[in-house]
Amino acid sequence: MVQSESKWKPTCEAPSKCRHRRRTDTPLHHHITTPSNHYNTTTLLDRDHHLLPAMRDSSLKRSLGVDLTRSLKESRVLLVGAGGIGCELLKNLVLTGFGEIHIIDLDTIDLSNLNRQFLFRHEHIKKSKALVAKEVAQKFRSDAKLEAYHANIMDARFNVSWFESFNVVFNALDNIAARRHVNKMCLTANVPLIESGTTGFNGQVQVIQKSQTECYDCTPKETPKSFPVCTLRTNPSQPIHCIVWAKSYLLPELFGDSEDEAPEVDATENADNANEIAELRKEALELKELRQSLGTEEAYQKIFDKVFRRDIIRLQGMEDMWKEREPPELLDFAQLQEASASIASTISTHDQEVWTLAENVSVFKDSLNRLTHRLKQLQEKSLPDQDSPILTFDKDDVDTLDFVTATANLRAAIFHLELKSKFDVKQMAGNIIPAIATTNAMTAGLCVLQSLKVFQNNLMHAKMVFLERSGARAINSDSLNPPNPDCPVCSPAVARVEIDLELATLEHLIQDVLRMELGYGKYLSIGFGSKSIYDPDFTDNLQEKLFDLGIKNESFVTVYDENEPERINLELVIIARNEPSSKDSKPATLQKMVEIPLKPEKPAQPSADLLPTTGDALQPEKPEQASTDDPTVTGKRKREGSSDEMELSSHDAKRLASASVPDSKGIEAIVLDDDANDDEGGVIMIDD
């Protein structure tokens, strides 16, 4: 309990000479104290809370300078993502004095978020991350202008014009598709982007500015890991194969959609596996028929007999598969059933232990009953015009996790593979690797530091910054690379075209805009999304209205020049007119003239006579990359990516190669821990 003011007394007899004498611009009560404290901070919060904004502004001006502080106060910035990095970043933006901050996130708060996303509490579970983050962060600085959106950043309403209203955009996403979208929108709107991501102990911050730095797509991204369906269902060789089989095949076939929809399963059919694929599809149909038995006493035994006996007997008959490895071994159902009868259902809570086969059978039966009951309840509540309800895997769904763990372990035992604990299965099936809150905080701080250079128009001194656990350095930085001339996202020129959606045809776009205004020749092709809608040999769409081709307001259309000399690709941003066209106006017009540079000449290949033929100088030939000039390649704007992976850029090789060399050129390092254990491996994760 804070003592009454009448009992407080000055600490020093001569306050004017005391070394604790308060500064005129920092009205802290240094001279009033309780018996246990030299001064009481509560007094400042309770009595002088109205002075906090002035004190904070004064501190910011001394730290950043008057001009930069004013620029931040007048700024309007966008924060995409309110998860691990986003919470830390929002706090930093508010306390650094950014004037207007817009926060957008589609996700809701989950129990697993609370250990590192400090803005959220238990009472916020199931609520919008963006809305709660705004509410909590507003208390940090009452005069900050915050706006929150519980929405998908890829929604049509967040168009180029909306992005143009911001001074800087901060990316704090865990989703490759969304990151690529924000990257493209910022490039089109010519707005600086601060891209960031964390992977366990590792982190990265990158400044992206159109025409000056490389963008997010300038370096290739690793495609998500997928497993051939035949490996998963006929010849698993690793525990992860059994886990993905249980998660993406068995669970969906019994309670959800077919595994054909699962991104981890590659069911591509070719001449070598056509018969096997057909046989596996037959198995899937048999499993779906077992759905009718769910809820009956026989369901558990029927599913066990189908999955762990009959299917395995069929595989045992493929003798050629087992010439070099031990064939699968049948489980003794009767023996396991008897042993599991005395095992309590609470065994499933022992998530750090590797369960015995009998315990796995017990959990399998119990989780099957729980899931069946849940599905039946959903079916009873569903309306006739709604799709049939399904159950899907979620790492935080205890029922589905128990089912996947038990069935994966039973299958692993059949194929003589290592069994895994429920905790391990959760990590592997959910692509979950523990997040490090400190990494998020450091990355968020680096984002703000790099953004200050953008506000100072000092992009030349901005860096790509890396956090890493390897070597003696915890923080490394590298100069920003120039744009990749072959990047299909940032290399094209950008122009805006106003169209009348009711009248404009593809021919209007080609003749009136591309040829009459921009000077294109006879040979060009046009791509929209992943398809080609025009080339000199494909003119069927000329009389089609752009709207009927799917082109509408804020659509992106790519033009490929095939004339000589060849110009770089052109990205057209379609802007729908608010008013109908007059009689004298054209249905499609260029909003503003743009210059489309010629494609740079590629360096001449060395003559075959000059190439080395012997000795160490002979290098293996690198595989040829697909040309970005090909409309069939660059016309496809969307590339697949995993929402649970974050890839560091191609700077990694250079950075890691010089991580232990103090005088590495081009690398600025801050040594935080000279005694770091170089052999201690980190884990990789995308925070949500």
Report mean pLDDT in 10-residue bins for the chain, 688 residues: 45 48 43 40 48 74 92 96 96 96 92 88 92 96 94 91 97 90 95 93 94 92 67 84 91 73 47 56 68 80 91 87 89 92 92 95 94 90 78 89 96 96 89 80 97 94 89 86 91 92 92 93 91 92 92 92 91 88 84 88 61 45 43 39 40 42 39 37 39
For helices 422-429 and 398-414, give the axis angle rounded to 10 degrees: 100
Of 150, 163, 181, 168, nearest in space to 82 by CA: 150
User: What was the pLDDT predicted at 281?
Assistant: 64
Under 8 Å between Cβ of 104 and 153: yes
Sign of CA dihedral 642, 647, 649, 654: negative
Tell me the C-alpha distance between 388 and 379, whole Å. 7
User: What was the pLDDT predicted at 148?
Assistant: 97
Please give the structure tokens belonging to residue 19: 């070394």
User: What was the pLDDT predicted at 449?
Assistant: 96
> Which residue is it, tokens 């803005």?
119
Residue 31 has what DSSP assignment?
Answer: T
Of 97, 106, 89, nearest in space to 439 by CA: 89
Condensed to tens digits (0 to 9), the pLDDT of residues 631-679 reads 444 443 333 333 333 444 444 444 444 433 334 434 343 333 333 333 3
pTM of the shown model: 0.61
Tell me the C-alpha distance between 573 and 528, whole Å. 11
**Who's near 2: CB < 8 A, 6+ residues apart?**
34, 40, 42, 43
Candidate list 186, 215, 230, 487, residue with the active-site label = 230
CATH superfamily of domain region 237-416: Ubiquitin activating enzymes (Uba3). Chain: B, domain 2 (1.10.10.520)
Q: Enter the CATH code of domain 63-222+436-479.
A: 3.40.50.720
Tell me the C-alpha distance between 333 and 330, whole Å. 9
Of 83, 130, 73, 124, nearest in space to 104 by CA: 130
Paired strand residues for 72? none
Tell me the C-alpha distance between 473 and 90, whole Å. 27
User: What was the pLDDT predicted at 617?
Assistant: 41
User: What was the pLDDT predicted at 323?
Assistant: 84
Under 8 Å between Cβ of 513 and 603: no
Which amino acid, residue 542?
A: L
Q: Where in the chain is the domain with CATH 1.10.10.520?
A: 237-416
Q: Where in the chain is the domain with CATH 3.10.290.20?
A: 493-590
CATH superfamily of domain region 493-590: Ubiquitin-like 2 activating enzyme e1b. Chain:  B, domain 3 (3.10.290.20)
Condensed to tens digits (0 to 9), the pLDDT of residues 64-106 reads 999 999 999 999 999 999 999 999 999 999 999 999 999 999 8
CA distances in angstroms from 133 to 165, 330, 448, 603, listed in the order given: 22, 53, 18, 52
242 tagged catalytic: no
